[in-house]
Amino acid sequence: MAELRAALTALETLEAHYEALQQHVDALSNTTSSLERIETLQTTLAALEHAVEGEVDVTMEKFRARSTMVDPVTNEPRFGPKTLAKVLDMLLRYDALKENVGSGEVLRTARKSIEAFHKEQQAHAQRLEQQQRQAEQAERKRQQEQAERQQREDEARREAARRAQELEQARIAELARLAQQKRIEREQQRLAEEARARDEQERLNQQNASVQVGVEGLQDAISTLETNLGDPKTFRSVLQKLHVLIGNVCAAPEKTEYRHIPKDNAHFHQDIGQYQGGHECLLTMGFKELEPEPTKRVFIMEEPDLSEDLDRWSAWFDGLKDMKELLEQRLL
């Protein structure tokens, strides 16, 4: 009959669900629970519980009631022997399945697995939440430490910059002080040098003014030179150099190089300047000792301006010739 076949099909489906449930439970005991396995287990368990408490259970109870009914006319069982055997076998199978579903070890294990999984999921979620909180706390701490470290570094840089600025300002101030001191020293040196130069020039002017220029003065200077030397040969050599010197001026009075003799000139010093009385001879010949630069002395003979005063120039030139003749006479 169709109703019995439908009931058997439903029972076979339930048995398949139960077998699948048992397989899932066995698999859970051997492997780590996963969300997919737990969801499958929950679905299978829910289907079994719904079936044994719902329409399938109603159908089975109907067949259970009919299995004991008899025909009121024939007083024979409602089902034939074969059908009744199938019905009773179906009911036995269903009762066994229902008992397993209600109190069987497999279902208890399944429920425990589901409960344990949910607890583990909850614990895992709590651990994740705690880890997240710890990570956030660690990140906040890291950011705070980084901010504090950055603040310290910024303060250190500012302090270093401030210190460097102070050092630079101190260096500039010291340089300014040294420069000012140097300027003061240079100014003092300049003033001292000017005073020395004035004093020296005044002395030279007095010296130049005190000398008797001309033949008589030269004659006295030559006598002093001769007395100081005491060596006729050296004396004659000096006179010769003086004669050459004044002879050059007489030959070319316009040439300034003949009338300009550095006091520290090596040749002049060797020939004339080293001997006492040599400088005096130059002065009496009309040379003047000057100091155009600090510590630099020169003997200069000034030529009168021919275009302005011919008489003065002529007197000057005649005086040179007279002194030249005096030297020539002493060399005879």
pLDDT tens-digit series, residues 293-311: 877 899 999 999 988 999 9
Average of pLDDT values for 174-186?
92
Strands 260-262 and 288-293: unpaired
Query: Rounded to whole angstroms, how far apart are CA atoms 130 and 160?
Result: 43
Q: Could you tell me the two tokens for 250?
A: 């007489």
Provide the pLDDT for residue 54.
72
pLDDT at 90: 87
The mean pLDDT of 279-289, rounded to a whole number, is: 93
Question: Residue 108: what pLDDT?
Answer: 66
Least confident of 117-121, 144-148, 190-194: 117-121
Share of the chain above pLDDT 70, in %: 87
Closest to 90 (Cα-Cα) out of 17, 16, 10, 20: 10
Average pLDDT, the chain: 85
Q: Among 113-122, 142-151, 279-288, whose mean pLDDT is lowest?
A: 113-122
pLDDT tens for each residue of 45-98: 666 666 666 788 888 888 888 888 887 777 778 788 888 898 899 899 988 888
The pLDDT value recorded for residue 250 is: 95
With beta carbons less than 8 A apart as the criterion, state whether 190 and 257 touch.
Answer: no
* Single-letter amino acid, residue 241: K
Question: Per residue in 9-50, pLDDT tens?
Answer: 888 888 888 887 777 777 765 555 555 666 666 676 666 666
Query: Taking the domains of the chain in order of start, what are their residue ranges?
Result: 2-103, 211-331
Residue-wise burial string across 268-280, b where 16 or more C-beta atoms lie within 10 A, e elsewhere? beebbbebebbbb
Alpha carbon distance 232, 225 (integer Å) = 11
Q: Which residues pair with 260 in a beta bridge?
A: 300
Task: Check residue 211 and report its DSSP letter.
Answer: S
* Distances, alpha carbon 223 to alpha carbons 210, 211, 245, 326, in Å: 18, 15, 19, 12
For 222-275, what is each residue's pLDDT tens digit?
A: 999 999 998 999 999 999 999 999 999 999 999 999 999 999 999 999 999 999
Is 211-331 in CATH node 3.20.10.10? no
pLDDT greater than 60 at residue 122: yes
- DSSP H helices, 211-308, are 215-229, 232-251, 266-268, 278-284
The H or E element containing residue 141 is helix 105-210
pLDDT the model gives residue 35: 57
DSSP 263: T
What is the per-residue pLDDT for 104? 58
